[in-house]
Structure 1
Amino acid sequence: MLTGLALFVQHPGKTKIYWPHLGWVLFMFLFLIYFWWWEYRLHTVPVIDFGVYLFVIVYCCIFFFLCVLLFPTTMEDYSGYEHYFMSRRAWFFGFLALAYAVDLVDTAVKGRAYFASFGLEYPLRNAAYILMCIMAAITPNRRFHALFLIAGLGYQVIWIFRAFDLLD
């Protein structure tokens, strides 16, 4: 993802930028930051067996695919990032929905008390993101995509600050 962003600096003006695409790049950057913070909580799991280890590896692979989907290896087949992003939206939002579903399992692995500490908002939040991702995968409506990005990114920032006691 960082390599993709660096291309904008290395070759300014070469490819048309699409602001919602950049918004999802920012969204994924934040998601990765708090993913690794959450994974730090694995130290509370008494025994990390191969199953948990494999689960975390698969979860990381989902994030890898999400980041790769944001920046193709070549833009030759596309008129810009809007064309690219909209043509690959089903893949991106499908993997993002999967990440939110897997996130529920990941949090449960850390224990019932840990899962419960986030209250009912946490599973409802993930369910809402999954539903919105499914809708985003299906619809090419640019207004929907812009609103989902703005609302999703705004909520993501608020969630991070609240979930990790940054507002205290």
Structure 2
Amino acid sequence: MNDQFQHVMVLISIIIGLAITHLLSGVVDAVDRANDEDDPEIYSLLGALWATTVFFWMVNFWWFQFRLLAMEGAWTLWRYLFIILYSVALYTLAVILVPRNWDAIKRYTEYFMRNRRWFFAALLLASVADVADAWLKGGWDYVLGMGPFNNLVAVLTVPVVAIGIASKKIRTQTVVAAIYSVLFLIAVFEYTPVLVSPGHTI
């Protein structure tokens, strides 16, 4: 099973690695772009909040995939494709959130608002995949055992996505991003992220 797991995780590692690389290099490029003399409005609390959320989401995703070692049943192509699609959803969040070419961006908020429908669609997809991923590791008992904040974030994703797509106000978008980011970070650290082998207790 361990050999199977390592084989399965190779492609997923590449996808998540590319996503994190894109996100971090994009942040560094944004800092450089913001120092240009043409005074672009690159700094954005909205972008920073979502970038923080997506970064910790990817780290959290990678951390807990170790629990797949305890998954009952054999690996199938469908299970493999599901985990890949989950990682692709996270990659999509990172790519939509951070532009590839900062030179073409004058105001980050305008860029975000222009692409917000795609971003929030990917956010909803990733959230649904996260619940399914937890269920895959241990059924509904595992899902409920992830903690109240984790389940609260999963439920709140639906109204967050609806508001995010519908609202054209930066202030509303920023408030929604701040609430979601805080709750998400609490959820990440609420469920003690200790890496242990399946069947072992700490």
Residues 15-52 of structure 1, C-alpha deviations (whole Å, 9 max, x = no match)? 42222112111110111111112212111113222211
| Equivalent of 2:84 in 39, 48, 57 | 57
Q: Which residue matches 1:147?
A: 175
TM-score by length of 1: 0.87
Larger Rg over CA atoms: 2
Q: Which residue matches 1:41?
A: 67
- Alpha carbon RMSD of aligned pairs, Å? 2.1
Say whether the 8 Å CA contact 2:149–2:187 is kept in structure 1: no
Query: Aligned partner of 2:154: which letter?
Result: N
Please state how far the C-alpha of 1:74 moved relative to its aligned partner. Answer: 2.3
TM-score by length of 2: 0.74
Q: Which residue matches 1:66?
A: 93
What is the correspondence of 1:66-145 to structure 2 with a 5 Å cutoff?
Answer: 66-75=93-102, 78-112=105-139, 113-118=141-146, 122-145=150-173
Q: Report the Cα distance in structure 1 between the residues aligned to 2:185 and 2:104, rounded to whole angstroms.
A: 34
Q: Report the Cα distance in structure 2 between the residues aligned to 1:130 and 1:164, rounded to whole angstroms.
A: 25
Q: Report the Cα distance in structure 1 between the residues aligned to 2:100 and 2:189, rounded to whole angstroms.
A: 34
Secondary structure in 2 matching 1:110: helix
Q: Report the Cα distance in structure 2 between the residues aligned to 1:131 and 1:83, rounded to whole angstroms.
A: 22
Aligned length, in residue pairs: 166
Q: Which residue matches 1:26?
A: 52
Q: Which residue matches 1:4?
A: 26
Which segments of 5 or more consecutive residues in structure 2 lack a partner in the other structure? Answer: 1-22, 195-202
Say whether the 8 Å CA contact 1:101–1:130 is kept in structure 2: no
Which segments of 5 or more consecutive residues in structure 1 lack a partner in the other structure? Answer: none
| Equivalent of 2:35 in 10, 13, 18 | 13
